[in-house]
């Protein structure tokens, strides 16, 4: 198990456009994926992009299990997505709170498209294609933004709804990602 340090907003790697993966199924890629999974699990994150651990490649992972502490949170199947492509399937946008392991302790209201199709590959190069809506679609947009050097505060339209969890939601247990 290798939990890696997560880079925080301001680190130059988080602003880069990450490079496509060209070789699938290599030992290096499998080791990187394992580190990403270990890091996401350790931080109890909903998703993680390779640039967040300093690797500027187009790889994201995400997934949310049912958690009795957050009974309203929608489940998202655990997914590894390499070289993702997103097609928006609506112009409808919904606002909701987001956090990010690279912006620890904070939350902001972010508008996101409500329905999309995503495609890409798993770590072995098998194709993946899915339609997602709601929270699942939000997570995909957030994680894929990381591959283009975009963090969620850059998607916000009202910075008065951006702040520290402890100040905005005192006494509530909220995941720090
Ligand atoms: Ni993030």
Domain ranges of the chain: 12-168
CB 54 within 8 A of CB 103: no
The whole-number pLDDT of residue 174 equals: 65
pLDDT surpassing 90 at residue 91: yes
Provide the 8-state DSSP code for 54. Answer: T
pLDDT surpassing 90 at residue 71: no
Q: Rounded mean pLDDT of 33-52? A: 96
Q: What is the pLDDT of residues 117-165, one digit of tens each?
A: 999 999 999 999 999 999 999 999 999 999 999 999 999 999 999 999 9
Q: What is the C-alpha to C-alpha distance for residues 46 and 65, in angstroms, rounded to an integer? A: 9
Q: How far is the CA of 102 from the centre of ligand 1 (A)?
A: 6
Q: From 3.40.630.10, 3.20.20.140, 3.20.19.10, 3.90.45.10, which CATH number describes the 12-168 domain?
A: 3.90.45.10
Q: What is the C-alpha to C-alpha distance for residues 42 and 39, in angstroms, rounded to an integer? A: 5
CB 77 within 8 A of CB 172: no
Regarding predicted confidence, which is higher, 44 or 128? 128
- The number of residues making up the chain comes to 177
Which residues are marked as active site? 143
The whole-number pLDDT of residue 159 equals: 97
Q: Rounded mean pLDDT of 86-99? A: 97
Q: Widest CA span of the chain, in angstroms?
A: 47
β-pairing verdict for 47-49 and 127-133: unpaired
pLDDT surpassing 90 at residue 74: no
pLDDT surpassing 60 at residue 176: no
* End-to-end C-alpha distance for the chain, whole angstroms: 20
The whole-number pLDDT of residue 68 equals: 67
What is the percent of the chain where pLDDT is above 90?
Answer: 89
Q: Give me the torsion for CA of 148, 152, 35, 54, rounded to 10°.
A: 50
Q: How far is the CA of 86 from the centre of ligand 1 (A)?
A: 17
Q: How far is the CA of 41 from the centre of ligand 1 (A)?
A: 14
Q: What is the SS3 assignment for 158?
A: coil
Q: How far is the CA of 57 from the centre of ligand 1 (A)?
A: 15
Listed in sequence order, the residues at least 6 apart from 113 whose beta carbon sits closer than 8 Å to its beta carbon are 88, 89, 90, 91, 92, 93, 137, 141
Per-residue confidence at 172, pLDDT binned at 50, 70, 90? confident
């Amino acid at each position: 198990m290798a939990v890696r340090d997560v880079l925080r907003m301001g680190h130059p790697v988080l602003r880069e456009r990450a490079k496509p993966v060209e070789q699938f199924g290599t030992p290096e890629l499998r080791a990187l994926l394992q580190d990403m999974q270990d890091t996401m699990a350790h931080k109890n994150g909903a998703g993680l992009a390779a640039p967040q651990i300093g690797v500027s490649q187009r790889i994201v992972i995400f997934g949310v299990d049912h958690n009795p502490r957050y009974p309203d949170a929608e489940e998202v199947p655990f997914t590894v997505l390499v070289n993702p492509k997103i097609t928006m399937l609506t112009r409808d946008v919904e606002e909701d709170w987001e956090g990010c392991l690279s912006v620890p302790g904070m939350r902001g209201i972010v508008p996101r498209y409500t329905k999309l199709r995503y495609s890409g590959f798993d770590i072995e190069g098998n194709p993946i294609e899915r339609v997602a809506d709601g929270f699942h679609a939000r997570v995909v947009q957030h994680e894929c933004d990381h591959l283009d050097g975009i963090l969620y505060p850059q998607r916000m339209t009202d910075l008065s709804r951006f702040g520290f969890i402890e100040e905005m939601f005192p006494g509530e247990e909220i995941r720090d990602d």
